[in-house]
Amino acid sequence: MYLSPTFFLDLGLRTFTNNPFFSRDRPILAAGESDFRLLEGQEGLVVTLGPNTAFFDRPNRSVCRWPGVKTIPRQSPHAIPRRSFFANESNAFLQIFCGGGDVRLNRVATLGDQRQILLSAGAGNVVEKIDLTELAREGAPALKFLQPAYLCSSAEVAIRSTPCDAATMSWARAPYVYRAEQQESAGRQAILCLSGRTMVWCERLAPGESRDFALGNVIAATENIDSKLRPTSQCHPEDEDDAPASTLAKPVRTRLREFTEATGILFESMRAREGFLVCELTNRSERPAYVYVQLNKDSFYGGSGFVGVMVKLVSAFLRMSHLPLR
């Protein structure tokens, strides 16, 4: 078979353009600047860091990186106050036990010049790039999301672990979730990248609007979302009270009642069959709300740490009881 020079030219161009680091408009960044560029199919992204710049990513998601990049494991993307030895030990125990405590991620930094890092969203996952600065400009509050959905974030994003109340437990089904917001001292865009199965899209809910989602498909929602579980056999209620949620400090008795309600919701979702319950998300505030949903979902999440493992085991046992014996 005769191979013409045009064939070799086309082969070389295709090989060059298929490189994930190739970009027609490659940015030239200054110190402290970063750029997050999604790949064509959103199966991953290329992070470009300027000189002496850092970002945070999830462990085992880095596929390729240029020389001159240093990874520092177990760093916190939020300010850590000075604590005693026993407070630090209890914080570490909380993280191992139920996924709470300080958030620990990889901090990736350049040593001098501009460098690029290729990250993978995982098998069957896609990346959703969220500009927290734009959300804050529109008046949306902080974003809560599932811990396994985290992929990477810029240094301008503060991420903390927060316990789930009854509303958050309805869609998260875990004791703790991550809470992300732009740092007060941030002078640049705060970028957060999440990963979800097959496809991820964003639903914007105006004040008073509501949506129904299947359990396990919601991966993130802003704090002003009110959520509850409802059997699929019931219609969506039309006579809802649109009073905004209170942001005042809650007494201990109220917190205990919310903890009991959240635990009951978690148990209810653990033993429910797939498709038996839906998650009703409503924006009862005066500010816009955002919900991020994945098209497909993995197995029951249940949270991280020892509690997450036990929740998954109990959920598997309870759901097997719904199966017919023959």
Q: Worst-scoring range by mean pLDDT, 14-23, 64-73, 175-184, 219-228? A: 14-23
Kindly tell me if the per-residue pLDDT of 19 is higher than 80.
no
What pLDDT score was predicted for residue 300?
72
What pLDDT score was predicted for residue 277?
78
Alpha-carbon span 8 to 143, nearest angstrom: 49
What pLDDT score was predicted for residue 275?
60
Contacts of 260 (CB under 8 A, 6+ apart): none
Residues 208-254 pLDDT 10s: 999 999 888 999 999 999 998 887 767 766 544 444 444 444 565 66
Residues 279-297 pLDDT 10s: 899 999 999 999 999 999 8
Kindly tell me if the per-residue pLDDT of 325 is higher than 60.
no
What average pLDDT does this structure show over 250-270?
67
Domain 24-233+254-320 is in which class? alpha beta
Kindly tell me if the per-residue pLDDT of 194 is higher than 90.
yes
Between helix 85-98 and helix 305-320 the angle, nearest 10°, is: 20
Q: Residue 200 forms beta bridges with which residues?
A: 294
Residues 107-137 pLDDT 10s: 999 988 899 999 999 999 999 999 999 999 9
Structure confidence at residue 105 as a pLDDT band (50, 70, 90): very high
Kindly tell me if the per-residue pLDDT of 36 is higher than 80.
yes
- Residue 304 tokens, joined: 């991280």
What pLDDT score was predicted for residue 78?
86
DSSP secondary structure of 141-180:
--EEE-GGGEEEEETTEEEEEEE--HHHHHHH-SSEEEEE
C-alpha to C-alpha distances, 127 to 41, 122, 193, 285, nearest whole angstrom: 9, 9, 6, 29
Alpha-carbon span 14 to 8, nearest angstrom: 10
What average pLDDT does this structure show over 165-169?
87
Which candidate, 53, 51, 195, places its Cα nearest to that of 119? 195
Alpha-carbon span 267 to 270, nearest angstrom: 5
- Residue 306 tokens, joined: 């020892």
Kindly tell me if the per-residue pLDDT of 162 is higher than 50.
yes
Q: Worst-scoring range by mean pLDDT, 165-169, 176-180, 316-320? A: 316-320
What average pLDDT does this structure show over 12-36?
69
